[in-house]
Amino acid sequence: MIHPEEGAHVKPLAGIRMMVTRSRQQAGELITQLEALGGEAYAFPLIKMVPPRDTSPLDKAIFQLADYDWVMFTSVNGVRFFLERMRALQVPFERLTARLAAVGPKTAAELTKHGWKVDLIPSDYVAEGMLVSLKEELKPGERVLLPRADIARKLLPEELSRMGMEVAEVDVYQTVIDGEQAPEAAEYLSQGRIDVIAFTSSSTVSYFLEAMAPYGGAALLGNVRIACIGPITAQTAKAHGLHPDIVAEEYTVEGLMEALIIYWGGKADGRHF
């Protein structure tokens, strides 16, 4: 393993080599931030996001947008695919007049970029945090639209229904495995060319193990640190028998970078201890 050199002029993640398992479309931000901190990235995209096989429930929801009191977005991808479908159906953005909730600042930024005002962003960027924040805002009987991934957890719709909301959950995109680079990635790991692997969602964990099963599976991570973007991803890793070394306190790319810096003996502002 390569450790960052000492010295105030050395960047806090200098020499750290990270395997990035995000989709090709999403990996850029993480790689840019890692390299700015002195690290090196090896992109091993494990996820592809594609439109749902059956778009009829989503199309129906888009045509009936005026019927909803809230639309809740739980990912940047959810916003993007929703917008793409609105464009494809030639439904004007102005038709979305419901109050909007976004699970975190990146999702909110994607909405505001298109002129929408976000009414609620929870302090904890997971479904549990959104539920806590929504308790004071929602009224029983209100109609809620949840445009989400096909593999999204059921906690949010189930709890909203329990709170008396009328919930419509529609698949706005589906995630599929992208294991094209698996043989090369296995070679990188077995040759000790990776210091840390970053899992940025539960599906990256399960897809990693599925893609790498023919090449050694979890054993390939024996000498590799495991970093997770948040507690849900860490729980999934543990459920698969992995042991996360680093878990971000803020469930964002920035939070993950902070956690890495601290793990390798620095401070979140870039100074070394």
Which parts of the chain sit beneath pLDDT 50? 1-7, 267-273
- Pair 184, 221 in one domain: yes
Task: From 118, 146, 176, give the residue that closes a domain.
Answer: 176
113 is a domain residue: yes
Residue 1 maps to a domain: no
In a domain, 168, yes or no: yes
Domain count, the chain: 2
Question: Does any domain span residue 5?
Answer: no
Would you state the pLDDT for residue 57? 96
Domain boundaries, position 139? 50-176
| Cβ atoms of 236 and 202 closer than 8 Å | yes
Instruction: Answer yes or no: do 170 and 213 share one domain.
Output: no
Is 42 in the same domain as 54? no
pLDDT for residue 272: 37
Identify whether residues 166 and 127 lie together within a single domain: yes
| pLDDT at position 10 | 80
pTM metric for this prediction: 0.73
Query: Which residue carries 């090196």 as its tokens?
Result: 40
54 within some domain: yes
Does a structural domain hold residue 251? yes
Same domain (yes/no): 242, 256: yes
pLDDT at 9: 64
Q: Are residues 83 and 190 in the same domain?
A: no
CATH of the domain at 133: 3.40.50.10090
Residues 186-203 have pLDDT tens digits of 999 999 999 999 999 898
Please check whether residues 41 and 57 belong to one and the same domain: no
9 part of a folded domain: no
